[in-house]
Amino acid sequence: MLMTYDDVLDAATVQRFREALAGAEWIDGATTAGSLSRAVKRNQQLDDRSPTAIRLGNDILRRLGAHPGFLSAALPERIHPPKFNRYAGGGRYGVHVDGAIMRIAEANLTLRSDLSATLFLTDPGDYDGGELRIETPFGAQAVKLPAGSMVLYPSSSLHEVTPVTRGERVCAFFWIQSMVRDEAARALLHDLDRSIQSLSARSTPDDHDIVALTGVYHNLLRRWASV
Ligand code: NI
């Protein structure tokens, strides 16, 4: 399942992020790639320990923590601190799959990547290329979203970033370990939650069927979640 959210950062916040990132120190992205993906990765990244990366990353995490759509879809147990990358001058990241297990050194934690997220910080009109192409069971999907929008996709997917041939493409990206590891189970819970929300909006608060369905949601979550 591939989900997009168009309201993660508002325009003023994107502008603030872009200004902070323009003045930050960027390093060769290949230094952080695994041995297989190093050969296909040509971009720049912010040092994870830089004050700018930490400050902006925390800002993103705070907003996601209050984003009902994201929380319902991802059911996050643990989120990797957001990283920042920049592609320009033909920069690309060839087809690869993200590592399954990530180390969060600062927090002395390990994370299983169930979901990958890319938050776009550059408007699509400001660069050519730079599509995030994700392999799905229904074929490859090319994702290029407005600044402030985010895509969420299964970390098990093969994906690539096509060459940026004009301008520059700046994004934040990170991984999520979900409380519900099984993707199909997580998708069912998300569908059920959305239907309950939609029914609730046009019913009375004491509607017995909605209370019962909410019970079903929580009892499924109790069966399927690991916390
Ligand atoms: Ni990747």
Centre of ligand 1 from the C-alpha of residue 156, in Å: 10
Closest CA to 175 of 78, 106, 47, 53: 78
Whether 126 and 166 have beta carbons less than 8 Å apart is answered as no
| Angle formed at CA 197 by CA 119 and CA 12, multiple of 5 degrees | 30
Centre of ligand 1 from the C-alpha of residue 98, in Å: 5
Centre of ligand 1 from the C-alpha of residue 197, in Å: 33
Instruction: Give the integer Cα–Cα distance in Å for 98 and 96.
Output: 7
Centre of ligand 1 from the C-alpha of residue 182, in Å: 20
Centre of ligand 1 from the C-alpha of residue 32, in Å: 12
Give, for all 227 residues of the chain, the pLDDT tens digit.
799 999 899 999 999 999 999 999 999 888 777 766 777 888 999 999 999 999 999 999 999 999 999 999 999 999 999 999 999 999 999 999 999 999 998 889 999 999 999 999 999 999 999 999 999 999 999 999 999 999 999 999 999 999 999 999 999 999 999 999 999 999 999 999 999 999 999 998 789 999 999 999 999 999 999 99
Centre of ligand 1 from the C-alpha of residue 134, in Å: 10
Task: Map residue 82 onto helix, strand or coil.
Answer: coil
Domains of the chain (ranges, CATH numbers)? 3-178 (2.60.120.620), 183-224 (4.10.860.20)
Centre of ligand 1 from the C-alpha of residue 113, in Å: 11
